[in-house]
Amino acid sequence: MNEPFFESEAWFQFLETVESVWASISFGGYVATGIAIFVLVYSVIRLAEVREKVEELSSDTTFEAEDERTDLARWEHVLSLAEGTRESDWRHAIIKADLMLEEILEEKGYQGATVEEKLAQASFETKEKAEEAHALRLELTKNLTFVLDERTTYRAIKNYEAVFEEFGEIPKH
């Protein structure tokens, strides 16, 4: 006699296969969910870090009022930032000093779309110092993960200072 299909060996093999497939699908789903949660948490943390860096770079500076300042007053502001204790202040100091450098090069008649182009055609005693300081500024703006320390900041500020003194923008010390 034929046994009913739902009690047959074929039915039980089918159920075992379905159970095995379902277990594999469930496991894959758990793994995919775990990976998705990890990626989400990592992305949120990284986004917070990037937002903090952007906020540090834009928090306490306004460039509108700086156009009205004399070069000496602007330089004193750069020095006060460089003497700060926060890396974000050091970054601001270097960026502002580099903006001053660019303006001075333009005032002296050097042509070019970038500071590099202006420096390439320039000829002055402290040109190498200007190039070194500007290279650091480029690194800071291109690489947000670059760790700036006090010593590197001091060296860059001293390089800018030598250039500005040579051009007579600030008094010699």
Q: Do 29 and 89 share a domain, yes or no?
A: no
In a domain, 111, yes or no: yes
Name 102's Cβ contacts closer than 8 Å, sequence gap at least 6.
Answer: 115, 118
Q: Do 48 and 71 share a domain, yes or no?
A: no
In a domain, 113, yes or no: yes
Q: Do 39 and 91 share a domain, yes or no?
A: no
- pTM for this predicted structure: 0.60
Q: Do 82 and 33 share a domain, yes or no?
A: no
Q: Do 103 and 142 share a domain, yes or no?
A: yes
In a domain, 86, yes or no: yes
% of the chain with per-residue pLDDT over 70: 91
Q: Do 132 and 78 share a domain, yes or no?
A: yes
Q: Do 67 and 133 share a domain, yes or no?
A: yes
Q: Do 80 and 126 share a domain, yes or no?
A: yes
Q: Do 101 and 146 share a domain, yes or no?
A: yes
Token readout for 121 is 């055609």
pLDDT in tens, 90-145: 999 999 999 999 999 999 898 889 999 999 988 889 999 999 999 999 998 898 88
Which tops the pLDDT comparison, 65 or 45? 45
What's the number of domains the chain is made of?
A: 2
Sequential DSSP letters for 84-134: SSSHHHHHHHHHHHHHHHHHHHHHTT---SSHHHHHHH---TTHHHHHHHH
> What domain range includes position 107?
63-166
Q: Do 98 and 74 share a domain, yes or no?
A: yes
In a domain, 173, yes or no: no
In a domain, 88, yes or no: yes
